[in-house]
């Protein structure tokens, strides 16, 4: 008899290691970024974020990267710039685990809330954010690049710490 899905997901999270993102992680980070996003960040975006001193963290399962996030502090609010879970690891509770780490990191930086933008078409992410407790606070028109030169709005969400 197999373990319940939640127990299996927890087992998968328990063996992950959480560590600051370093330049040596960028090949694996960029590979996930390209695989999971239709309009990924460039490698230069990650290099610039690390050089700017943003809080950047990774989750590894042994030698394999399972996910990552980048967080920027702006006064008393943390802005979640990027978060991703490796495609093969999605649906295993890692997104929620990363959001727990985002909240802990933001608190450690003295933030009172976490802000993020998400595409309305990214239904899976929207569901994860809403279930976590993020609430929509606005929209940004023409924020994201979309197919055929079009633009997609962003849903702005906030989680109060």
Q: Give which of 91, 90, 97 is closest to 58, Cα–Cα.
A: 97
pLDDT at 148 (0 to 100): 79
Q: Count of CB atoms within 10 A of residue 157's CB?
A: 22
Per this entry, what is the length of the chain? Answer: 161
Catalytic residues: 117, 129
In which residue are the tokens 């490698």 written? 43
pLDDT at residue 6, as a whole number? 39
Give residue 12's pLDDT: 56
**pTM for the complete prediction?**
0.88
pLDDT along the chain (161 residues), means of 10: 39 80 97 94 97 97 95 96 96 94 97 97 94 97 85 96 97
Q: Which two tokens stand for residue 18?
A: 């959480």
- Would residue 51 count as lying in a domain? yes
- Quote the Cα angle for 114-118-123, to 5°: 120
Contact 93, 13 (CB under 8 A): yes
The greatest distance separating any two alpha carbons of the chain, rounded to the nearest whole angstrom, comes to 51
Domain, as residue range, for 29: 5-114
Residue 129 lies inside a defined structural domain of this protein: no
E strand segments, 3-148: 17-20, 55-61, 64-74, 77-85, 113-118, 135-145
pLDDT at 1: 35
Domain count, the chain: 1
Residue 35 domain flag: yes
**Is 110 a domain residue?**
yes
CATH of the domain at 24: 3.40.630.30
Q: For residue 145, what pLDDT is reported?
A: 82
């Amino acid at each position: 008899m197999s373990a319940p899905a939640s127990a299996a997901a927890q087992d998968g999270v328990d063996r992950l290691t959480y560590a600051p993102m370093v330049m040596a992680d960028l090949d694996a980070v960029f590979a996930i970024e390209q695989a999971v996003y239709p309009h990924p960040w460039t490698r230069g975006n990650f290099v610039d974020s690390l050089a700017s001193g943003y809080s950047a963290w990774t989750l590894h399962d042994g030698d394999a990267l399972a996910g990552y996030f980048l967080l920027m502090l702006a006064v008393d609010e943390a802005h979640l710039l990027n978060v991703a879970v490796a495609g093969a690891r999605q649906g295993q509770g890692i997104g929620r685990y990363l959001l727990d780490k985002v909240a802990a990191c933001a608190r450690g930086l003295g933030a009172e809330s976490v802000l993020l933008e998400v595409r309305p078409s990214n239904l899976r992410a929207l569901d994860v954010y809403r279930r976590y407790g993020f609430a929509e606070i606005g929209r940004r028109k023409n924020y994201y690049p979309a197919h055929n030169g079009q633009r997609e709005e962003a849903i702005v969400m906030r989680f109060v710490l």
